[in-house]
Structure 1
Amino acid sequence: MAYRDLLNRLPAPVRWLAPPAALLAVTAGLVAAWSGEPDVTPPVPDAGAARYCAALDAALPADVLGHARRDPSPASPYTAAWASSPRTVLTCGGDRPDFLNDGTRKGPCVNEVSWGMTEDGGGGYRFATGLRAAYVVVEVPEGAYGNYADPLAYLADAVRSTVPTIDGKADSDCLDGS
Structure 2
Amino acid sequence: QCIMSQTTPERILSNPWYGKGFFEPNQYKVAIERCKNGSDSCGLFTKCIQQRVNIERDYIGALKKWSLTWQKEIQRCQEYGSNKATWFASVIAGEQHSHTHSEIADKLENVIEKISQYQKDNYSKSYIHTRKVKEFEKDFEQAQKGWLKLIRKLEDAKKLSDEA
- Whether the TM-score (by the shorter chain) exceeds 0.5 is no
Q: By percentage of residues, which structure has more helix?
A: 2
Q: By percentage of residues, which structure has more strand?
A: 1
Normalising by structure 2, we get a TM-score of 0.26
Larger radius of gyration: 2
